Copies of this chain bind each other. A is one copy, B any other.
Amino acid sequence: MEKKDKTQETEISDLGEFGLISRLTKEFPLKNSSSKLGVGDDAAIIEPEGDKEILVTTDLLLEGIHFDVRYVPLMHLGYKAAVVNFSDIYAMNGTPKQITVSIGVSSRFTVEHLDMIYAGIRLACEAYGVDMVGGDTSASVTGLVISVTCLGEAVRGESVKRSGAKETDLICVSGDLGAAYMGLQLLERENKVAAESGDPQFQPDFAGKEYILQRQLRPEARKDIIEELHAAGIKPTSMMDVSDGLSSELLHICKSSDVGCRVYEDRIPIDYQTAVMAEELNMNLVTAAMNGGEDYELLFTVPLTDKDKIEKLSNVKMIGYITKPSLGAALVTRDGSEIPVKAQGWNAFQH
């Protein structure tokens, strides 16, 4: 976090709660026709079209658990807080439309810090066509708290749950995996080096690692994949986004759908920078890709008959198939042996 310069920055208590809310939310004009009333009343008013169903998702981000302000720029933090919620809506085959943002903030933070967080949220809202319609702003005696709730729309009956995967369905994943996790390892390493150097001018070395950093600090939601699937006439039988790691999400789909699965180690998409970083840190690459999390890619299943259509999509890879439940969930290694998939996923309660 940038250092406070008390001569130039504004204490939150100078503005008061209502002044603060007014300042933070004034640059969020409503764009969607369904957003009838935004910030400034007891509740926002949403008027969905008659053939739409509403999707609701929420995420709580806590300082020291989900982010570290020592190396996460506040604008990126705001952007990410919004985007991870949009990702959940896309993962239901929907379109995000509105968010509410609640922030709890301690006196360590100035109004200018909050401006940065909201600037990031605004960027995300603009990029994805989402309206900010409400929220809550409060003092916090401890760390920074960000709670975002996102509403989205789907055509009635077209939402895709985790529970629809069927035996022989193909398992697909967008983009690549493990990069955000490696970006976090890099940030933590450089932060440690900086602390040990004792040099306030220390410059971390991020050359050639821009992709994994961006994946950690400023992830995007796969709106493009949802659009490509629609255009190709593909409706997944089940879908979710990869936030806790591929292993964890595969188990969710298997449990919700009452199926098993086989995924192939050599089919798991991994970026070159991710592999280089794992090598540098002497970490197991497949473990990082399977369990790293925060990828915000889409994991979905399609009927076998959609195989040709899927092969034409450049950003989607088939990584395995759905089996009957008795076979369990397993990773097929390069030498053909099977390892049970375990949810080692990022578990905040083990911190």
Which one of B16, B104, B156, B239 lies within 8 Å of A65 (CB-CB)? B104
Complex interface bits, A52-92 against B, C-beta within 8 A gives 1, otherwise 0:
01111111101111100000000000000000000011011
Select the stretch in A137-145, A186-194, A279-287, A319-327 that faces chain B. A137-145
**What is the oligomeric copy number?**
2
Complex interface bits, A84-123 against B, C-beta within 8 A gives 1, otherwise 0:
0000110110100010101110000000000000000000
Q: What is the interface of chain A, defined by CB distance below 8 A to chain B?
A: 12-13, 15-18, 20, 36-37, 40-48, 50, 53-60, 62-66, 88-89, 91-92, 94, 98, 100, 102-104, 133-136, 138-143, 145, 147, 149-152, 154, 156, 159, 161-163, 239-241, 256, 343, 347-351
CA distance A57 to B102 in the complex (A): 10
The answer on a CB contact under 8 Å between B56 and A44 is yes
The answer on a CB contact under 8 Å between A134 and B36 is no
The answer on a CB contact under 8 Å between B53 and A141 is no
Q: Which residues of B contact A150 (CB under 8 A)?
A: 43
A38 to chain B, nearest CB (A): 10
Q: Which residues of B contact A37 (CB under 8 A)?
A: 159, 161
Extra contacts, 20 of them, besides A43-B88, A56-B151 (Cβ < 8 A), are: A12-B349, A16-B347, A37-B159, A41-B163, A42-B88, A42-B162, A43-B55, A44-B56, A44-B57, A45-B54, A45-B159, A47-B156, A54-B54, A57-B134, A62-B138, A65-B138, A65-B140, A66-B138, A139-B349, A141-B142
